[in-house]
Amino acid sequence: MWGIELQRKSEVPLKRQIYLALRDGILSGKLQAGEALPSTRELAHELKVSRNTVNEAYDMLLAEGYVWSRQGAATRVAEGLRLDKEPASEPPAQGEAPLSLLADFRTGHPDLRQFPRYVWQQLAQKTLQAMPPSLLGYTGPQGLPRLREEIAAWLYRSKGLTAMAQNIFITAGATHALHVIADLLYEEGKEILVEDPCNRGMMQTLHNKRYPLTPIPVDAMGLLPEYLDGKRACAVYVTPSHQFPLGGILPASRRAALIRYARETGSYIVEDDYDSEFRYYGDPVAPLYAMDPERVIYVGTFSKVLFPALRIGYAIVPDKLHGRWRQLRTHTDVQNPPFEQAIVAEFLHSRKFDRHIGKMKKLYRERRHALLTALKECFGDAWRPWGDAAGLHLAVEFPGMSFDDAFAQCGRQNGIRITPVEYHCIRKGAHVDKLLFGYGHLEPDEIDKGIVLLRDFMAQSRALPCIV
């Protein structure tokens, strides 16, 4: 009756079911404008529900304007409600099913199996219990003061970097920091200078902000400052501690030239220090930030040290950008949630963070060694490593070889995930002979096995149908 079929076992209350059925009838035109609904008594009787249930359904229709009624008269369908069905749109194309991988040299992934989950749980419990109710409310766009103080203390004890907690802004990771910085520095017609090659994800972030990107070439030691040119740049995005992806440490003279360029043009240097905690011979490289805290925006992240899903990073921001940063953050995603911030603060404060880094550094050094050994065994002298002994990946040159997207795709189809350096290049052609090996997340035997598979694949690949 009236198109209403009640599901008595549903979690949707009966009154809502009645409301929904009548509303659908009205919108589809089955119940026409001006038509009288049955009296509540009548409908209640027919549907075998209480009259109150029908009354409530009618009240909902009335409150939302689907029907109208006058004292003592029938409830009638309102005017102008009929909506014809739009033709259904095409269902979205399903992404390809992921192929299973036999060797996975993706970059930038820490070994999550080693994460001290039990310690984290204990700190989480302690933090939750101690958290005052005020932290459940809006606590401001800059981040928890305690975390900012702990980060400042840690930067000082680990890298000798003096940064004030008041200049540290918590973000939802490094990508998010870059996203905020891009909005922060936006001026119509300005461009951003980036290293070439440069992390493709980060370039996409800037590209989405409608910035023109100008590539600055990179050699084995990093960005070549003699190519910095022009007055249209609002920022230079660099990875001076461990160039991504080639691995160089930017020499002091180039650092000084970069700072001079920024001062002369009034632009900023965005220093992405994405993995300098892991340096295997010698101490972490000193951040560029120390050379000019008024011109450098330093970006750090916990994704590589703790875990990627944490979504906590930070930026150290010059005074004059603070107000705009707060305003922007307030009107984009407001703030970071407080729990993770409080847990990370405790992790730092208790020095469990430092111990975790120490442990992982040892582990990753062994893995890097396993990678170099496996490459030597499988490729003899036909390769050479680039960059500093640091981070979670290694760029390797195979002189005379050429690697492109087709090679990577074909590798994928053969169960091998590996990235050519060309993937991260703006100007193509300068680094065709290099591949990137992410090793941080792999056990030594996974590395060995992977390199053997890669060698066999490279030997056959000329003959494979997927390489044209």
Q: Is the peptide bond before 197 cis (omega within 30 degrees of 0)?
A: yes
Q: Which of 72, 92, 98, 400 contacts a copy of itself by CB under 8 A?
A: 92
Structural contact between residues 185 and 197, judged by C-beta atoms closer than 8 angstroms: no
* Closer residue to a copy of itself, CB minimum distance, 313 or 407: 313
Pick the closer one to a copy of itself by CB: 20 or 426: 20
DSSP assignments along 38-73, one per residue: PPHHHHHHHHTS-HHHHHHHHHHHHHTTSEE--TTS
35 is an interface residue for a copy of itself by CB under 8 A:
no
Q: Which two tokens stand for residue 446?
A: 């996974």
What is the three-state SS of the chain?
CCCCCCCCCCCCCHHHHHHHHHHHHHHHCCCCCCCECCCHHHHHHHHCCCHHHHHHHHHHHHHCCCEECCCCCCCEECCCCCCCCCCCCCCCCCCCCCCCCCEECCCCCCCHHHCCHHHHHHHHHHHHHHCCHHHHCCCCCCCCHHHHHHHHHHHHHHHCCCCCHHHEEEECCHHHHHHHHHHHCCCCCCEEEEEECCCHHHHHHHHHCCCCEEEEEEECCEECHHHCCCCCEEEEEECCCCCCCCCCCCCHHHHHHHHHHHHHHCCEEEEECCCCCCECCCCCCCCHHHHCCCCEEEEEECCCCCCHHHCCEEEECCHHHHHHHHHHHHCCCCCCCHHHHHHHHHHHHCCHHHHHHHHHHHHHHHHHHHHHHHHHHHHCCCCEEECCCECCEEEEECCCCCCCHHHHHHHHHCCEECEEHHHHCCCCCCCCCEEEEECCCCCHHHHHHHHHHHHHHHHHHCCCCCCC
Which segment (20-28, 228-236, 391-399, 419-427) binds a copy of itself by CB under 8 A? 20-28
Nearer to a copy of itself, 154 or 457 (CB): 154
Is the Cβ of residue 243 or residue 414 nearer to a copy of itself in the bound state? 243
In 3D, which of 110, 125, 118 has the Cα closest to residue 343? 125
To a copy of itself, the closest distance from the beta carbon of 468 in angstroms equals: 27
Q: Which of 14, 49, 107, 254 binds a copy of itself (CB under 8 A)?
A: 254
Interface residue with a copy of itself, options 1, 9, 63, 96 (CB under 8 A):
63
Contact pattern from residue 360 through residue 399 relative to a copy of itself, giving x for each residue in contact according to CB under 8 A and a dash for the rest: ----------------------------x-----------
Note whether 78 and 68 are within 8 A (CB): yes
113 binds a copy of itself, rule: CB under 8 A? yes
Distance CA 309, CA 289 (A): 27
Of residues 120-159, which lie at the interface with a copy of itself (CB under 8 A)?
120-121, 124-125, 128-129, 133-139, 156-157, 159
| Nearer residue to a copy of itself within complex by CB, 50 or 208 | 208
Count of residues of this chain found to bind a copy of itself when the rule CB under 8 A is applied: 109
Q: Which is nearer to a copy of itself, 72 or 92 (CB)?
A: 92
CB of 167 to a copy of itself, least distance (A): 10
Q: Which of residues 328-367 bind a copy of itself (CB under 8 A)?
A: 328, 330-340
Nearer to a copy of itself, 290 or 432 (CB): 290
Binding pattern for the stretch 177-206 against a copy of itself, x by CB under 8 A and - elsewhere: --x---x-----------------x--xx-
Contact between 423 and a copy of itself (CB under 8 A)? no
Position 406 contacts a copy of itself (CB under 8 A): no
Of positions 46, 264, 283, 405, contacts a copy of itself by CB under 8 A: 283
Q: Residue type for 434, please?
A: K
Question: Least CB distance from residue 174 to a copy of itself, whole Å?
Answer: 9
Q: Which of 66, 289, 302, 325 is in the footprint of a copy of itself by CB under 8 A?
A: 66
Contact residue for a copy of itself among 42, 219, 264, 319 (CB under 8 A): 319
Which of these ranges, 5-13, 373-381, 396-404, 460-468, lies near a copy of itself under the rule CB under 8 A?
5-13
Site for a copy of itself in 263-282 (CB under 8 A): 263, 282
Supply the minimum distance, in Å, between the C-beta of residue 221 and a copy of itself. Answer: 8
Q: Could you say whether residue 115 binds a copy of itself (CB under 8 A)?
A: yes
Among 46, 226, 264, 294, binds a copy of itself (CB under 8 A): 294
Q: Which pair of tokens denotes residue 324?
A: 């705009």
* Smallest distance, a copy of itself to C-beta of residue 377, A: 28
Query: Which residues within the stretch 72-91 sit at the binding site for a copy of itself (CB under 8 A)?
Result: 78-83, 86, 89-91
CB of residue 163 to a copy of itself, shortest distance in Å = 14
* Cross-strand partners of 219: 222
| Residue 239 CB, nearest approach to a copy of itself (Å) | 14
